Amino acid sequence: MGRDVCLPPARRSTGRNIDMRIVLGSILTISTWAIIQFVGASYATAGTQEKPPSTRTPVVLKSLLGLENPNDRLLAGNVLTEGQIQLGRLLFFDKRLSIDRSIACASCHIATTAFTDSRPVSRGVRGLTGDRNAPTVINRVFGKQLFWDGRAATLEEQSLGPLVNSVEHGFLVYDDVVKTLRSIRGYRKLFMEVFSENITIENVGIALANFQRTILSGNSPVDRFDYGVDLNALTQSAQRGFRVFQGKGRCIRCHAGPNYTDEQFHNLGIGWESSHVDLGRYAITHQPEDIGAFKTPTLREISRTAPYMHDGRFNTLREVINFYNHGGVKNPFQDNTIGSLFLSDEEREDLEAFLTALNGEGWQHVLPPASFPK
């Protein structure tokens, strides 16, 4: 491979197409940015201002360079409000949403570590551990078929699932979650203000999901380079890594599109060298082609979300790259996109530099609440 500088491609080579929206976006950059900053302020300051989530002011999610418009990915009829988002933030960080008051959603999705917990597998109530790594919640507004095995169709469904998982939050049934929240006067008041009705599990899911929809990552060095905003945003190594990503590394086969994931399921061979094989997607679909297949994660913020793979076996990006370079672990159900890559040491180093440059902005504003309802 040549050592020449990789110039920005004439068209989006990561699954995006240039159209009039990009042209218009360039013309209206200043005015649009001002509007976004004004509207987005309703949630972007949530970590620094402790005002009650009582308003029903509609919220427009902030658009970030490199991403689709997140507002286009909301469920039909779902109008986000400031109250829902701030209520969801309280619920996300509140450990009283576990049977022994020891675990919150934020215990496994820690804001300061890009909403992961830095553990191979997460720890729940009573010190119990599961079998899978906690994926980041960043950019889940764009997600389809959530969880590693895709068992949840919506973010609302995904948000509620861990509450009644015996290892995670530990409640037996959703009625116990509702009963716990109704025992807290402050939550009774807030739910009435936000939803005009008493606490229901459906509204718990809406609040949690809509809060998570504000957690975004875009405007990374890769985006600024790829869109021609800043041709110096990537180092020479990262530019070469971009070419490896698109070409010889074949990464784009699964990590395509604005969020660098095809939102599909693939068998890489993880776990097939051990005595216990996690069947992954097959447990949901019972289709033979889904045996050992797991969801393709986003690569945004990837250098901040170690360890990697559904069982958290790899501690570094270089280990992940080496795994793919060797063609994964062979098994009867391995995805046909997986094979040896024969990348040189320099190519692997460049690919890692590119992946690190996918760190962006849009989630750093989220901080734990200073206090919780009583």
Give the closest residue to 311 by CA, choosing from 279, 351, 348, 352: 279
Stronger pLDDT, 51 or 71, i.e. the higher one: 71
* Among 184, 339, 179, CA closest to 269: 339
Tens digit of each residue's pLDDT (9 = 90 or more) over 317-368: 999 999 999 999 999 999 999 999 999 999 999 999 999 999 999 999 999 9
What domains are there in the chain, each with its CATH number?
A: 221-356 (1.10.760.10)
SS3 250: coil
Spatial separation of the C-alpha atoms in residues 303 and 105, rounded to whole Å = 22
Query: What's the CA gap between 295 and 115, in Å, rounded?
Result: 18
Digit-coded pLDDT (tens) for 282-326 = 999 999 999 999 999 999 999 999 999 999 999 999 999 999 999
Residue with tokens 């005009």: 196
pTM for the structure as a whole: 0.86
3-state secondary structure of 308: strand
Question: Is residue 279's pLDDT more than 90?
Answer: yes
Q: How far apart are the first and last CA of the chain?
A: 62
Q: Which one, of 9, 205, 200, 198, lies nearest residue 92 by Cα?
A: 205
